[in-house]
Structure 1
Amino acid sequence: MKTNEQSTTNIRPVFNCSLKTWGGCFLNEAAYPGVNLMNDLMELLLLFKTNKYGLLAEIRKAFLMTRLNSEEDMNRFCFFLKEGDKLLCFRYTTLIFDFNASPFILLYVLRYNAEQFENDTCTQMLMNNFYMDNLRKTSNSPEEPRDLYREAVCHLQKGGFDLRSCNSNRRLLKAQMEKDNRIVQHNSDLEKGARL
């Protein structure tokens, strides 16, 4: 259960992929996590400090938006609950939080989505400036963050993702984010994009 202001959902079911039972192995031990597609966090932070104008955002419910498409994929993560004499089967239709391959799958889907567009500055940003579901981009051009924000919103929407908690140190861009209802919604210090 999450009670802080930044939560988009108050309850997050977590499939314990590290639980070892019956003397066997746990799911994360048996599953291949995929290749590391994670951008270097230190590099992103250093780049963020080197330029004058910034753009921050995150993807709303990124792991919930990365839907598994086929029936076969959805049946890979089932769990059963007994209710009286009935055995009920439930299955995950989204990425599992805490599964070792979930970060790889999310970043792969984001990169795949970006590759559907012309290889321009926005595509490069979507491929190289995410750390998990958090976008960090800076520029010395006052117009570039505004243009990238608009393009990124469109590109991500076409892939089924919604950019939220946006922020910038450019007043005009912040006004556009407010108009689009994508601006950071509160002054919590815990908000990822609250302060620039």
Structure 2
Amino acid sequence: MTPAPAILILAAGASSRMGEADKLLMKLDGVPCLRIMAERAVATGMRVLVTVPADRPAREAALSGLSVTIVPVRDAAGGMGRSIAAGVSALPRDVTGVIIQPADMPEITTLDLQLFAKAHEAHPNRIWRAITETGSPGHPVLFPAALFSALTALRGDEGARSVIQNHENNLQGITLGGERARLDLDTPEAWERYLSDRLR
């Protein structure tokens, strides 16, 4: 059987650095960033799950009509680790890996995500992590099914850093062009710069 990963989009964060705005509902060409990221994930043909906080119904509404599984995170305030744990716990049993992708990285494309699926097909037991052209680690990150139990035990706001550190000997990078593996937009200033640059 061909190894088949799923995509887990993390969209349960508090968006606390954005003030009154919600970074995941900021619009690109009139479409909320969260929906764009979900559409790109769905276009890969892989199964897609999206974690959302229980207190932000507008995020779930932004995904209306898309073929994604919504995963409410009741304890989202406990940090990214809880979001990852909830999402991984909801994965279908037959998937052989999970591509974890934060929802505030609008430069990540469908083709980028498909690169991870191809790498997983060739080496299904490895951790695959996106890196920039200069070698800096970023997202997405693909974890094999053997690490699902470690992911569901995560707490706090460091994400899956501890899982990666504990299995560095099994980690391999996938280079994505430019800096897009690290470009996340979580402040009004970052969004302003990004939207301004897109108009040039």
Bin for the TM-score computed over the shorter chain: under 0.3
TM-score, normalised by the number of residues in structure 1: 0.27
> Between Structure 1 and Structure 2, which shows a larger proportion of strand residues?
2
